[in-house]
Amino acid sequence: MKRTDGSAGSAPPLPSQEPIRLVDPGGNRVGEGLHPTPEPGTLLALLRAMIIGRRFDRQAGALARQGRLAVYPSSHGQEACQVGGVLALADDDWLFPTYRDCVALVTRGVDPVEVLTLLRGDWHSGYDPESHRCAPQCTPLATNASHAVGLTYAARRKGRDTAALVLMGDGATSEGDAHEAYNFAAVWNTPVVFLIQNNRWAISVPLEKQSAAPTLAHKAIGYGMRGYNVDGNDAAAVHSVVSQALAEARAGGGPAIVEAQTYRLDPHTNSDDPQRYRDDAEVEFWRARDPITRLEALLRGEGRLDDAELERVGAEAERLAADVRERLDGADGLDPEDLFSHVYATAPAMLRRQRQELLDEMRRG
C-alpha cells in the first residue's frame, strides 16, 4: 500500500557504477559482498536452462528463416538475464515478458510451441497466462511494466504476497509507460522488480543517444526505488541480485530496478541488418564474455560438471528442438472465423456483416 510511514523521503543508496559480478569472464569466483553466490545445485540449474534456452533460440531462428515464423527476435547472448531472472521467481510470482523473452518463457515451463504462437501470427498468446503466471508477451515497449504494477497492487489489496518480474530492454526505459510504471510502483510500494536487459542497442539506436544517466539503474533513485547494476552475462550474479530484490519486495520493501549489462549478439530480428550500425569488433568483445562458457568454466574448475553431464543436457536440448520442429509441422490450420471471436461479447453490426461476407466468400471457394 501507499507509503505512510515517513520513509518516502529517505534516499536509497546509489547503485554501483561497476556491475555486481560473482563470476568473471574466465569462470573464476570474485568477491561476493552483499550478494552470495548461489549454491552448486542452483548454478547447475542455471547452466542447464541456458543451454536449453540457446538451443531453442537457434531452432526458432531457423524456423523464421524458413518462413515458418513471421518473425523471431533472438536473445542470443542474453541467456543469463532471462534464465537468472526467471529462476529467481517463486511459484506464486508473475513474469511479464516482452517479445524478445521467449527463452524466459521456456525456462518458466511454458510449452515451447505455445511460446512461438505469437510469432507465427496465430494468436496474441498461445499459452494460458493464469496457469503459468506469465503475462502475454508485450510488443509495445514498456506496456508490460504498468501491467505488472497493476497486478501486484491488486494482489496486495487482497492480502497476497505475490511479486512480479518485468523484463524490459534499455530502449523501453525511454518510454513514457516506463516512467508511469516506476512512479506508481514506488508511490504505492508495489512488489515489482524491473529487470532491464541493457543490450546496448534499441534496434539501431545506441545507449549513449538514449540516456545520459551514469547507469540505467541510477534512474531508480529519482523514483525512490532501490537500484542495482549487475553483470548481465554472469548468471550467478543476476540470479542472486534478482532473488534478493524479489524477497525484499515481497517483504514490503518496495519495487526495484535491476540493470543487467549484456549484449544482443544476433540481429534485432531476422529482418534486421546490424552491420549497418555496429562493427564486428564490438560483437567479438561481447562474444568473448559468453554467459554459458563462463558458468561452464566455473563448474568444471570446481569439479561439479563433467563431459557426461554436458552431453546429457545437450541431448535434452536437441530433443526439445526436434519436438518443436515436429509439432510445428503438424500444427492445425487456423479457422478464419476466429478473426471475429473473443473481442466483443456482442459483435457490432459492422463486424457481423464482415463475418458474414467472409463466410460467403469461403463457401464460394
Dist CA 256 CA 328 (whole Å) = 39
Compute the C-alpha angle 110/342/103, nearest 5°. 20
Say if CB 223 and CB 194 are below 8 A apart: no
Helix (H, G, I), strand (E, B) or coil at 167: strand
Pick the closest to residue 99 from 139, 70, 136, 135 (CA basis): 139
How many CA atoms lie less than 13 Å away from 213 in the CB half-sphere?
Answer: 20
pLDDT value at residue 121: 85
With cell 509441422, the residue in question is 329
Residue 153 DSSP one-character state: H
Dist CA 124 CA 121 (whole Å) = 8
pLDDT value at residue 6: 47
Q: How many CB atoms lie within 10 A of CB 128?
A: 11
Say if CB 116 and CB 301 are below 8 A apart: no
Q: Tell me the angle at which helices 79-86 and 291-301 cross, rounded to the nearest 10 degrees.
A: 70
Dist CA 152 CA 156 (whole Å) = 6
Distance of CA 289 to the CA centre of its chain: 20
Q: Mean pLDDT per 10-residue run, the chain (365 residues)?
A: 54 88 96 87 98 98 93 97 98 97 98 94 88 95 97 95 96 96 97 97 94 96 96 98 97 96 95 93 96 98 97 98 91 75 88 91 83
How does DSSP assign 280-294, residue by residue? Answer: HHHHHHHHTT-HHHH
Q: How many residues appear in the chain?
A: 365
**Cα–Cα distances in Å, from 210 out to 169, 175, 213, 237?**
12, 10, 9, 26
Return the domain boundaries, the chain: 40-334, 335-364
Pick the closest to residue 232 from 103, 81, 98 (CA basis): 81
Classify domain 40-334 at the CATH class level.
Answer: alpha beta
pLDDT value at residue 331: 63
Question: Nearest 5°: phi and psi at 259?
Answer: -95, 125
How many CA atoms lie less than 13 Å away from 201 in the CB half-sphere?
Answer: 20
